[in-house]
Amino acid sequence: MRSYYSNTIKNFLKDDLSQILGDLTKNHGHNLENLQRNAWIEQIKILKNSFLRNEEGYIFFEFTIPRMGKRVDNIVIIGDLIFVIEFKVGDDIYRKSDIDQVLDYSLDLKNFHEGSHNEKLIPVLVSTKAYDKENSVKQDFDLLYKPLFANKDNLFETLSLCFPERGKLNINPDDWQQSIYKPTPTIIEAAEALYKGHDVKEISRSDAGAINLSKTTDCINRIIDDSKKNFKKSICFISGVPGAGKTLAGLNIANERMKMAENENSVFLSGNGPLVEVLREALARDEVINKGITKDESKRHVKAFIQNIHHFRDDNLISEEAPTEKVVIFDEAQRAWTEEQASSFMKRKKNYPDFGRSEPQFLIEVMNRHDNWCSIICLVGGGQEINTGEAGLEEWINALKHYFSDWNVYFSELIISDNNYLSNNSLKDWLIKNGISEKDLHLAVSVRSFRSEKLSEFIHELLNLEIKNSKNLYEQIKEDYPIFVTRNFDVAKEWINENARGSERFGLLASSKARRLRPFGIDVKNDINPAYWFLNPEDDVRSSYYFEDVATEFEVQGLELDWTIVSWDADLHINGNKWIYQTFRGSEWQNINQEIKKKYLLNAYRVILTRARQGFVIFIPNGNKNDKTRTEKYYDGTYEYLTNEIGIEELR
């Protein structure tokens, strides 16, 4: 049910207050506090009084906004105008947080409710005791209007300001409210919803353009249940393009198994420290607000759901017993360490001189201690290894081939056909002969950038210097997903600030090797607190909103923002028709010659160029003839490639 009460304005005026209040109370379904009841009574009275002179239209009370897990007070449809109305009963000011709230509701409908995509949406904040505020009717590019402000005495007068905007066709309210809702939450929003007990179907898209995450969950649950029933040990590889929802799939599986059987002790593990830190902090803050418990108590709860993979590893170095967990989900499994990297680390940091195993081999070995059954779920991104010693998928297959060949291995054929996942032909042959292919284990469509599902493909072609393909893809996405280039950092910041609405999050990104952006105040060596950067409000200087702290590929992999500025430095630049890879040492740039390190740098740009859900600006500095570390040749080639070759529009 989309709303607690809905009716024509004409019939709403006829229904008495107690009847409307009864419907609201009945459909509320929870203990009704006096504060909410009294707010409804005041709201009904104001609306009835406002529409006495106009019976045209349709009204909804408590209309659901699924992605946000909330309900907007009222939707009023008059002709082809959709008014999104939020009441603040008793308030005598128009608070910034309340303006953002009603704007966020409107944005959610505009972006994710099919019936609202091409309609005029007008957010209205009603602070019942506030002063009369002068309103101006202004429409953005996507038919979403700037917020209007009203009090208990001038609501209809405020709405009527928009009546000249009406078109000839009227919206059918029944068709509109029954229209498909296709939410695409951020990973933080998704984690909060799942942790509260929501089903993944409530928060994920299910349209034909995106693979339903519930299908992947169903496939994994079937494999786990079969392993449990028949005492098997199984490992599943969930692959997917950047932003396809692999982490969401993993969190959902962990959540599902926790609900199914407590003795399974399923856990979501990630070696991505910033991701773990941000998700834990977000869940803890949310639980403190919703359950009224202490932060420390909440953090203990959250820790059982999301853990750092390195803590899991270290705990199981101390003991040789089987872990309590029967189902483990390894996020970003492609980032697990090679034998060389793992052995070096264990010798230097943990005093284990003879470790002698890759991280994938050790992690499978730990789970193999179970006598009867267990399941490992590996979430694998293609072409996303970004740091020294990250093994990719090959080390997992290699460990299975040589040490755990009795395990049941499940995978999608995409990891065979796409060399970004697996390039070793002998390992491919082994997997084909010994593994089990499942089509629902690949998430093929990016849902991060809901404005364009082709963003990841575009960035892939751009980085591969495929000019024709890049140009074609850019032409397809540019209307719905704005991408610009500028050589002026202030212009980039101004454009983002003008286009971000409500509480949409934005921030500054750069490669960790972008060392010569410091003249612009962009210092990639300055450590940030990821939880503050991703979660703190816009009035906090430590938040992403300020454009003072820059996040690199290491802080943002697995997470996302709505809008970004991507600062492009000389570490990766075009010379002729090829990329030049550099690292900054001392006071000069040095060429990178190792292929694996070139791959890491290219993947770093792949990560930062695919973080924005709604659009981004690429900032490429002008060269400086007086600074040998920032000469024109380091920047002009990349600028020419993006603008003249691919056709990306420049902001001036």
Read off the tokens for 178.
Answer: 């029954």
Determine the number of helices (DSSP H) and then strands (DSSP E) in the chain.
25, 23
Compute the average pLDDT of residues 146-157: 97
Is there a domain that residue 106 lies in? Answer: yes
Domain boundary among 417, 443, 469: 443
In a shared domain, residues 333 and 460: no
Q: Report pLDDT for 215.
A: 84
In this model, does residue 67 exceed pLDDT 80?
no
pLDDT number for residue 151: 97
Do 410 and 465 fall within a single domain? no
In a domain, 345, yes or no: yes
The pLDDT of residue 262 = 64
Rounded-to-integer distance, Cα 616 and Cα 125, Å: 29
- Which distant-in-sequence residues (6+ apart) come within 8 Å of 136 by Cβ? 146
- What is the model's pLDDT at position 206? 46
Q: 504 in a domain, yes or no? A: yes
Confidence of residue 450 (pLDDT cuts 50, 70, 90): low
User: Across the beta sheet with 5-8, what order do the strands follow?
Assistant: 5-8, 58-65, 70-78, 81-88, 120-127, 148-150
Task: Sort strands 374-381 and 327-331 into parallel, antiparallel or unpaired.
Answer: parallel
Residue finishing a domain among 125, 144, 177: 177
> Does some domain include residue 462?
yes
| Span 297-333, pLDDT tens digits | 888 878 878 888 888 888 898 888 999 899 999 998 8
DSSP for 570-586 reads TTEEEETTEEEEEEEET
- Is residue 406 one of the residues assigned to a domain? yes
**Of all helices (H) and strands (E), which one includes residue 34?**
helix 34-50
Nearest-Å Rg of the Cα atoms of the chain is 27
Banded pLDDT at 207 (limits 50, 70, 90):
very low
pLDDT, tens digit, for every residue of 100-131?
Answer: 999 999 998 998 888 999 999 999 999 999 99
Give me the domain span that covers residue 274.
Answer: 187-443
Q: First-to-last CA distance in the chain?
A: 48
Give the domain CATH number at 32: 3.40.1350
- Please state the rounded mean pLDDT for residues 499-511: 95
In a shared domain, residues 128 and 277: no
Q: Which of 642, 604, 559 is nearest to 187 (CA)?
A: 559
Position 96: which residue type?
K
Q: Does any domain span residue 182? A: no
Q: Looking at the domain assignment, is residue 14 inside a domain?
A: yes
Are 499 and 567 part of one and the same domain?
A: yes
Cβ–Cβ < 8 Å for 570, 630:
yes
E strand map for 446-560: 483-486, 506-510, 550-551
Confidence tier at 198 by pLDDT (50, 70, 90): low
CB contact at 8 A, 336 and 330: yes
What separation in angstroms does the CA of 593 have from each of 152, 427, 576, 579, 598? 69, 27, 18, 12, 7
Residue 208 has pLDDT above 60, yes or no: no
Are 216 and 222 within 8 A, CB to CB? no
Q: Note whether 560 and 614 are same-domain residues.
A: yes
- Quote the CA–CA distance of 534 and 97 in Å, as a whole number: 18
Q: Which residue has the tokens 């969930």?
A: 238
Same domain? For 264 and 330 the reply is: yes
Output 445 or 13, whichever has higher pLDDT.
Answer: 13
The label of the residue with tokens 């005093």 reads 351
Structural domain ending residue among the three candidates 177, 198, 231: 177
Beta strands at 588-591 and 578-585: parallel, antiparallel or unpaired: antiparallel
Evaluated on CA atoms 103, 109, 111, 115, the torsion sign reads negative
- Residue given tokens 């700037």 in the structure block: 146
Same domain, 228 and 122: no
Which residues lie closer than 8 Å to 568 by C-beta, 6 or more apart? 510, 514, 605, 618, 619, 620, 635, 638
Domains contained in the chain, number: 3
8 A C-beta contact, residue 382 and residue 417: no
The pLDDT score that the predictor gives to residue 209 is 38
Say whether both 238 and 139 belong to one domain.
no
Contact 93, 44 (CB under 8 A): no
Residues 555 and 461 in one domain: yes
**Residue 399 pLDDT > 80, yes or no?**
yes
pLDDT of residue 561: 95
Please, what is the angle between helix 187-195 and helix 246-260, to 10°? Answer: 10
List all residues 6 or more positions away from 468 whose beta carbon is below 8 Å from its beta carbon: none
Distance from C-alpha of 71 to C-alpha of 365, rounded to nearest angstrom: 48
Q: Are residues 230 and 303 in the same domain?
A: yes
| Confidence (pLDDT) at 588 | 96
For residue 448, what pLDDT band results from cuts at 50, 70 and 90? low
**Residues 509 and 646 occupy one common structural domain:** yes
Six-digit token string for 95: 């608070």
Paired residues of 327 in beta bridges: 375
Residues 402, 272 share a domain: yes
